[in-house]
A and B are shown apart, each in its own frame.
Chain A
Amino acid sequence: MGIWIWVVLGILIVVVVALISVYNGLVRKRNQVKNAWAQIDVQLKRRYDLIPNLVETVKGYAKHERETLEAVTQARNLAQQVANAGAGERAKVEGELSSALSRLLAVAEAYPDLKANQNFLALQEELTSTENKIGFARQFYNDSVLRYNNQTQVFPSNIVAGMFGFKAEEFFETTTAAEREAPKVSFS
């Protein structure tokens, strides 16, 4: 009789320890998703800050490109307005901003004076790098979301996830022409 109490107690301890480790794993993965999201946010804000500067510089040299310049400014303002929205909606707007920007940079190629301007060159490097950082932050974010979502869905950790309300997170997907990755990523 006494033995059974110990066996039950032992099983109980094992279950509790497993529960704790699964829970902690979920929390760690969710935190990483949050960190990765913060990183995307930082880079997107950096881009908002760089754009007015770029528009001013280009304006001085390329007066005939008003439409392209306006498109960039508009896309930027729109993106800033939805800055507090969810990942899915934001990704769409930011994708449009990306393509408007790349059109502007392509247009700039036609103005040799502009391309010789030190200020423009520095801005171009900053912007190229910020675009890259957004891309890499998105890549890391999506990887983190995938890992976290997997954990909330597979047995047995889905039970713990359900008990404590760990919800699946949204991917950050852009689907515009300015997509950096040649083939489209599909996680669904």
Chain B
Amino acid sequence: MWEQIRANRIRSAFIVVFMGLLLLAVGFALGLYFFGSAEAGIAIALLVWFIMNLVALSQGDNILLALGKAHKIEKQDYPRLYNIVEEMTIASGLPKMPDVYIIDDPALNAFATGRKPDKAAVAVTSGLLQRLNRDELQGVIAHELGHIRNRDTMLMAIGGIMLGAIVILSWYATRIMFFGGMSGNRRSSSSGGGSGQIIILIVGLVLLILAPIAARLLYFALSRKREYLADASSALYTRYPEGLASALEKISGSSQPLKSANNATAPMYIINPFRKKGLAASDLTSTHPPTSKRIQVLRSMSGASFNSYDQAFRQVAGRRGVVPQGALAAVAETPLRAGSTDTEAGAAAEAKRARDVGDVLWKKNQYRTVDCQCGARLRIPPGLGAESIRCPRCGTVHKL
């Protein structure tokens, strides 16, 4: 696992460095256009990047979680989910249990965030909690904790900030250029630039337009690679790859789009929230590898170790594996375990889970619950002026 993290870092450092260079190049082009000096542009680019870092650092995960309308839960709110996260924290050997959030959304998805393993959070949608049984939920949570353990969340945060800086800079630069006239250009032509100068300016313009696209592709490449590793980690922690495989099957079978996702947060989810149903394309612009392939790899594992995952991957994809060499030798062969005996399948179990999750969300929205003796359950909105309420079914009056 430790070797894994190291190999991961080296590989990803390359992509991040490349994004950094792209940021500097954008600053360079910017400086040439507007100030006639490359240094000033680079300084501005770095300043924008620095400020975005500060904002991200002070806000932490709150931005992401606020975007997703997430509610933080404690153990007594929903013991099943809390317990599963605790179990997987133990299995993965994380130093501290991540915070647990529920997103009020019928779509099936989950994500992890956090710059450091000891300051991380996992969030799952209420739809996911309704549909998945314990083994499947365990697989999904293990996948997310795998992201935290392998430092993927940290890396995506760094990459995301760089991407944001590049997009903002080039967006403003091109807008100003097209609508505000090229003040910098005038100045440089008055100082007598030759044809060489013009070529540099054209290259700069192309760069400003292409950089955000290139940065996005890099960011997505970064994200795709991590998905397989997180799947492998999930299998290792749970010793039961079938759980995650069947969860992925359920998730990909539902076409419910996630309301709260956007382009920047898409790579953080367990499955691409913008996927189109029945599309197995693994093109440059996708944030996740095709789900059918992920399921196939998980199902053909013979053990739970990284070695088994690598072997299964090679069998399915027919090319070199996804797990870094260093991680392979270090882990002993580990057998799989059987699924848990209590089968929580069927419509009744699902209805019960739906009720439980609903209770949590009502409570988190500060609604009060009154159980009438006729079996009806009344939800009382916060700030209701009345002192008593009448049950619409049997007419009993309840004092509040």
Q: A residues near B, CB below 8 A?
A: 32, 36, 39, 43, 122, 125-126, 128-129, 132-133, 136-137, 139-140, 143-144, 146-147, 180-183, 185, 187
* 6 CB < 8 A contacts A-B: A126-B83, A129-B86, A132-B87, A143-B331, A181-B336, A185-B334
CB distance from B104 to the nearest CB of A (A): 23
A137 vs B340: C-alpha distance when bound (angstroms): 17
Q: Are B93 and A140 touching (Cβ within 8 A)? A: yes
Give Cα distance in the complex from A150 to B239, angstroms.
22
Known contacts being A129-B83, A133-B86, A187-B332, is A140 close to B337, with CB within 8 Å? no
| Assembled-state Cα–Cα distance A71/B293 (Å) | 48
Cβ-defined contact, B335 with A181, below 8 A:
yes
B337 touches A129 (CB 8 A): no
Shortest B136–chain A CB gap in Å is: 14
Q: How far is the CA of A126 from the CA of B84 in the complex (A)?
A: 11
- With beta carbons under 8 angstroms apart, the residue of A126, A133, A143 that contacts B87 is A133
B79 touches A39 (CB 8 A): no
Q: Contacts A32-B93, A129-B80, A136-B87 given; 5 further ones with Cβ under 8 A?
A: A129-B84, A136-B88, A137-B91, A140-B90, A185-B335
List of A residues within 8 angstroms of B239 by Cβ: 139, 181
**Residue-wise interface mask of B (9-41) relative to A, using a CB-CB cutoff of 8 A (1 in contact, 0 not):** 000000000000000000000000000000000
Q: How far is the CA of A183 from the CA of B86 in the complex (A)?
A: 25
Contact B90 A137 (CB under 8 A): yes
Contact A182 B90 (CB under 8 A): no
- Note all chain B residues with C-beta closer than 8 A to A136: 87-88, 90-91, 237
List of B residues within 8 angstroms of A122 by Cβ: 79
Interface majority SS on A: helix, strand, loop or mixed?
A: helix
Q: Are B91 and A125 in contact (CB under 8 A)?
A: no
Report how many residues on chain B are interfacial, defined by Cβ distance under 8 Å: 23
Residue on A nearest B336 in the bound complex, by CB: A182
Shortest CB-to-CB span from A186 to chain B, Å, is: 10
**Residue of B at shortest CB range from A140?**
B93
Contact with A along B163-193 (1 / 0, CB 8 A): 0000000000000000000000000000000
Judge whether B338 is part of the interface by a CB distance below 8 angstroms: yes
Residues on A with beta carbons closer than 8 Å to the beta carbon of B80: 125, 129
Which residues of B lie under 8 Å from residue A128 when comparing CB positions?
340, 342
Nearest Cβ in chain B — how far from A187, in angstroms?
Answer: 7
CA distance A140 to B237 in the complex (A): 9
What 5 A-B pairs are tightest by C-beta distance, nearest first?
A129-B83, A136-B91, A181-B337, A182-B338, A183-B335
**B345 interfacial contact with A, CB 8 Å:** no
Q: Determine whether the beta carbon of B90 is less than 8 Å from that of A133.
A: yes
B210 at interface by CB-CB < 8 Å: no
The complex places the Cα of A185 from the Cα of B304 at a distance, in Å, of 12
B68-97 interface code vs A (CB 8 A; 1 in, 0 out):
000000000001100110111011110000
| Closest partner residue, chain B, to A42 (CB atom) | B90
Q: How far is the CA of A143 from the CA of B330 in the complex (A)?
A: 11
Q: Which residues of A contact B337 (CB under 8 A)?
A: 180-182
Closest to A137 in B: B90
Known: A140-B90, A140-B93, A146-B332. A125 touches B83 (CB 8 A): yes
